[in-house]
C-alpha cells in the first residue's frame, strides 16, 4: 500500500477535493484524508445549495467572484448536471445598514470600480418585480443578473468523480488524523489505518479546523455556528425568486438579516429556502452540534416570510443545519494562508479555514494548489492572509 505522497490534503469537502483535483492535474501524488464519509452532511458543505454572487462591499471580493467564473465553466464541462442555476442576485433593505454581508452602497461602488453591470431599485420596484411586500419606503435595492444558485451536491459529486478518475489522487474516507510529526522535513500523518508521509500538507477540514491545527501546536480564533435553514411551500406554483439578501436594523441583540434562494429541481422542488443570517447561540466546539435548528431563529424567519414574501405558506416545512467556523476578526471570514512561522517548515503547510466561500470553490482549489506547489499564486490573496493576526500557539 502506498504511504509516500507529494501532498496530503486533510479534509475532503469541496475545498479539499477542488485542491486535490488541481494538484492531480499537475501530476503531484496526492492523498486526501476525510474524517467522515465523502459527500457527507456533517460539515460546512451540508445542505444542497449555495449562492453565487458578485455584489460585495470590497472590490477585491468582486474581482474574486469574477475570477471564479472560468473555473466554474471548466468544472461544468465534466458533468451533464447544471452546477449553477442563474437567476440573479437581489440585495435590498436599509441603505444605511452594515451587516456581515457589507452595505448596499459600498457594493455598488465596488461593482462600479470593477465594471460590473447591475440595476438599482426603489422599495416599490423590489416589491413589484420580485414578489416581496410591506417593505419600508426608504429601502433601496440592486439586482445583478449573474447571481446563481449553486447545486452543491452536484459540485461535490463532480469533484469527487474527477479525483477518483485521477491516477495521481488517492481518496481515503473515515480517516481522522490523530497525529502529525515532522522528521527530516517530511510530514508523518497518522490515521486509524496507519501513517502516511508527504512533503507538503493542505489543511481544509472545515469546522474541524482546530482539531487538526492543534496537532501542530497552534489554533485559530473562531466561533462555531450551526446555521439554520427553512423551506416554505409555494402556494403560487409559478412564483419564482432570485437569490437575495435583505439588510435591516438589528432586532434586540439577535440581528435581523435574512437571505433566500429560488426554487430549484435538486433542493425540495415546490419549496423556497429562506435562512437567518445571524446566530443566537454560538457553539464553542464542533462537538456541540445537535443538527436541530434553533427554534427562535426559525420563528424569526417564519415571521419575516409571513410579513414580507408572497406566494408562500409561512410555516417551515423542511429544516436543515450546517456547521461552520467563523473568524472572530470583524468582517474577515476567510483565511487563506501558510502556517505561522513558529511552526517548522511552515511554508509547506497551506491552510484554508473559516467563512463562506462556496462561490469560490474551483478557484480556491487552484489557489491552494499553487500555494502548495509553487509557494505563491498570481491571485491577490493578501486580504485573506490573516494568520499573523489570529493564529495562536497552544504551547
Q: Which of 356, 366, 379, 390 is catalytic?
A: 356
Judging by beta carbons within 10 Å of its beta carbon (0-12, 13-18, 19+), is residue 327 exposed, middle or buried? buried
Annotated catalytic residue 359: yes
Annotated catalytic residue 356: yes
Judging by beta carbons within 10 Å of its beta carbon (0-12, 13-18, 19+), is residue 154 exposed, middle or buried? buried
Judging by beta carbons within 10 Å of its beta carbon (0-12, 13-18, 19+), is residue 34 exposed, middle or buried? buried
Q: Which of 34, 94, 146, 277 is catalytic?
A: 277
Nine-digit cell string for 385: 492572509
Annotated catalytic residue 101: yes
Annotated catalytic residue 26: no
Which helix (H) or strand (E) is 163 found in, with range?
helix 152-165
Annotated catalytic residue 322: yes
Q: Pick from 9, 18, 17: which is nearest to 364 by CA?
A: 18
Instruction: Classify strands 349-353 and 89-93 as parallel, antiparallel or unpaired.
Output: unpaired
Q: How far is CA 184 from CA 9, 29, 198, 225, 348, in A?
A: 20, 20, 11, 39, 13
Nine-digit cell string for 127: 416589491
Cα 254 from Cα 188, distance rounded (Å): 45
Q: Which of 5, 50, 52, 53 is catalytic?
A: 53
Judging by beta carbons within 10 Å of its beta carbon (0-12, 13-18, 19+), is residue 89 exposed, middle or buried? buried
Q: Which of 52, 259, 304, 352 is catalytic?
A: 259
Instruction: Compute the Cα dihedral for 215, 220, 225, 227 and give only its sign.
Output: negative
Q: Which of 34, 85, 94, 101 is catalytic?
A: 101
List, by residue number, the catalytic residues.
Answer: 53, 101, 259, 277, 322, 356, 359
Amino acid at each position: 500500500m502506498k504511504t509516500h505522497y507529494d501532498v496530503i490534503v486533510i479534509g475532503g469537502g469541496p475545498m479539499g477535493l477542488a485542491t486535490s483535483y488541481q494538484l492531480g492535474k499537475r501530476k503531484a501524488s496526492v492523498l486526501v484524508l476525510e474524517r467522515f464519509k465523502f459527500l457527507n452532511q456533517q460539515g460546512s458543505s451540508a445542505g444542497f445549495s449555495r449562492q453565487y454572487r458578485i455584489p460585495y462591499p470590497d472590490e477585491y471580493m468582486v474581482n474574486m467572484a469574477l475570477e471564479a467564473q472560468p473555473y466554474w465553466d471548466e468544472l461544468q464541462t465534466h458533468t451533464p448536471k447544471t452546477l449553477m442555476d442563474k437567476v440573479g442576485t437581489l440585495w435590498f433593505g436599509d441603505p444605511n445598514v452594515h451587516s456581515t454581508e457589507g452595505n448596499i452602497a459600498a457594493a455598488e461602488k465596488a461593482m462600479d470600480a470593477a465594471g460590473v453591470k447591475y440595476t438599482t431599485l426603489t422599495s416599490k420596484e423590489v416589491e413589484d418585480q420580485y414578489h416581496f411586500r410591506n417593505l419600508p419606503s426608504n429601502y433601496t435595492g440592486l439586482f445583478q443578473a449573474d447571481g446563481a444558485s449553486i447545486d452543491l451536491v452536484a459540485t461535490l459529486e463532480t469533484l469527487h468523480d474527477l479525483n477518483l478518475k485521477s491516477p495521481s489522487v488517492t481518496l481515503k474516507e473515515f480517516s481522522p488524523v490523530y497525529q502529525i510529526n515532522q522528521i527530516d522535513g517530511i510530514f508523518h500523518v497518522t490515521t486509524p489505518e496507519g501513517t502516511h508521509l508527504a512533503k507538503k500538507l493542505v489543511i481544509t477540514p472545515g469546522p474541524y479546523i482546530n482539531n487538526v491545527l492543534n496537532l501542530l501546536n497552534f489554533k485559530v480564533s473562531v466561533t462555531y455556528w450551526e446555521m439554520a435553514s427553512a423551506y416554505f411551500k409555494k402556494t403560487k406554483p409559478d412564483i419564482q425568486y432570485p437569490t437575495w439578501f435583505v439588510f435591516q436594523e438589528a432586532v434586540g441583540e439577535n440581528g435581523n438579516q435574512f437571505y433566500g434562494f429560488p426554487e430549484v429541481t435538486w433542493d425540495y422542488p415546490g419549496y423556497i429556502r429562506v435562512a437567518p443570517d445571524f446566530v443566537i447561540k454560538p457553539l464553542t466546539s464542533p462537538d456541540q452540534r445537535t443538527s436541530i435548528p434553533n427554534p427562535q431563529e426559525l420563528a424569526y424567519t417564519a415571521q419575516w416570510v409571513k410579513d414580507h414574501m408572497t406566494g408562500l405558506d409561512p410555516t417551515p416545512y423542511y429544516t436543515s443545519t450546517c456547521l461552520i467556523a467563523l473568524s472572530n476578526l470583524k468582517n474577515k471570514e476567510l483565511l487563506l494562508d501558510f502556517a505561522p512561522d513558529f511552526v517548522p517548515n511552515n511554508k509547506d503547510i497551506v491552510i484554508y479555514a473559516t467563512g463562506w466561500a462556496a462561490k469560490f470553490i474551483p478557484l480556491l482549489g487552484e489557489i491552494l494548489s499553487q500555494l502548495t506547489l509553487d509557494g505563491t499564486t498570481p491571485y491577490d490573496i493578501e486580504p485573506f492572509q490573516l494568520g499573523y493576526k489570529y493564529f495562536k500557539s497552544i504551547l
